[in-house]
Amino acid sequence: MPSAASTTVRILIGGLTLLVAVGYKNYRDLGAPGKRPNLDNNEYWGPQLKGAYQENKAIKPYDISVAPELIADLKTQLERPLKVHDPLEGIGFEYGFNSNELKKVVKYWRDDYLPNWNKREEFLKKFQHFQTEIQGLKIHFIHAKPSNAKGKKVVPLLLMHGWPGTVREFYDFIPLLTKGSDKSEYVFEVIAPSLPGYGWSQSASRPGMGAAQVAVIMRNLMLRLGFDKFLIQGGDWGSLIGSNLASLFPENTLGYHSNMCGNNSPMGILRLMLSSIIPSFYIDSQYAQYYGGIGKVFETILEELGYAHIQATKPDTIGAALTHNPVGLAAYILEKFSTWTNPAYKNLKDGGLTKHFTYDQLLDNIMIYYVTNSITTSVRLYSESMGKAQLSLNVDSVPVKAPTACARFAYEMFHVPDSVLANKFPNLIQSTHYPDGGHFPAFQVPEQLYADFVSFVQKAFNQ
């Protein structure tokens, strides 16, 4: 007859074995592929109708000209005395946008930029702009065809921006894509839309349009233009919407290239936490410098993501504060082009704004938000994409089957290692790390982003 001690040991071993088995099953279940949600691919998002909806499928050239009276009113606002507090002694951008730098931006905007608005407007018109109606919304997009496709294979590309960007981010990137190079046999026909509620694209009239629903609209836009299969490239929201599109419509996705890779599936979140605690188990040692530990993750969340919490919970409040408030709008948006380009720039009194960008470039982007009155509608995407209804779709657990590439630029806020991306992107064929660049690579380092992108396309089409 076994002793009481041996019986206790057997019970403990049995219990531990059961816990391990249950834990393994739960871990395996976390990584189980999700099912594609049954979304309505024709869901109507426009203003309330009195009768049946008839979609206008016409594709029309779109004039982005700004009414002169709006420019005159903006000039009047910028001429008002700027009553801001002096920054604290020795402070750069640690407390947000430095008021001394803000004075310089406003002065340049008023005295140099606006007097040359006609030239800036012509520059913004350098590409062909169009508009078409998708699911009740008037969607704006740039359509840039190859300038010289001789001897090249032409591939359609859906190119998507995020917040606080606009299509302006792509003005140096698009010519590289459409001109091509000796390094690639491919050249691209680029469709760069303004996301719904951004720039010249109409916003939803009712709640519920999150990243998944925007992905449906973007896919329908490409179908409208005659592209049944296409590549996807994006960062920020463009990356998340692109990931959703590739998950929901594998039959239309030739490949997915992201410069802000993420995996918000339950398994992805668990692995990300573990990689922050025990990085050596999840991260290749040669790239360890790109990944911070758990302390760095929480430090970044606390210092840099306050805006996201506001926009996810009270988008209309922050929108009301910034609407037709050019100085506030500039401070709120341009701060991101400082610290998101390089977090060390927060220690500089000018925020390092002109280290990589010109005031003209930055103000072009601000102007698109201002003249289209789209700041409120743009930030609503945070609320719609982070609510229970959107999360319940579980798109994050649906794998992307298409060839995928992840380009990591050194000063992006977060980097996600390949081991964390694995269950979401089982066909990750290119993973790169760069010693420079930040959150806006198409704007900051377009040649580097282009080289990474064409390298991926070459691999994707020669698998």
Active site residues: 236, 382, 439
Query: What is d(CA 393, CA 367) in angstroms, rounded to the nearest whole number?
Result: 35
DSSP-based three-state secondary structure for 181: coil
Pairing of strands 186-193, 137-144: antiparallel
The Cα 359–Cα 110 span in angstroms is: 12
Alpha carbons 113 and 120: distance in angstroms, whole number:
8
CA-based diameter of the chain, in Å?
Answer: 98
Whole-number Å distance between alpha carbons of 248 and 242: 10
Q: Burial level of 3, CB count in 10 A (0-12/13-18/19+)? A: exposed
What's the number of CA atoms in the CB half-sphere (13 Å) around residue 205?
Answer: 11
The number of beta carbons lying within 10 Å of the beta carbon of residue 31 is: 16
Distance CA 113, CA 130 (A): 26
Query: β-strand 404-409 against 230-234: which pairing, if any?
Result: unpaired
Is the separation of the CB atoms in 412 and 20 below 8 Å?
Answer: no
**Per-residue DSSP letters for 268-295?**
HHHHHHHHHHSHHHHS-GGGGGG---HH
**Beta strands 230-234; 153-160: pairing state:** parallel
Rg of the chain taking only CA atoms, in angstroms: 24
The length of the chain is: 463
Tell which residue, 235, 228, 143, 241, has the closest CA to residue 196. Answer: 241
Pairs from 137-140 (Cβ < 8 Å, separation ≥ 24) = 137/45, 137/46, 137/196, 137/201, 137/202, 137/203, 137/204, 137/217, 138/201, 138/202, 139/193, 139/194, 139/196, 139/201, 139/202, 139/217, 139/221, 140/62, 140/193, 140/194, 140/199, 140/200, 140/201
Nearest to 158 by CA among 96, 91, 220: 220
Rounded to the nearest 10 degrees, the angle between the axes of helix 359-372 and helix 326-339 is 130
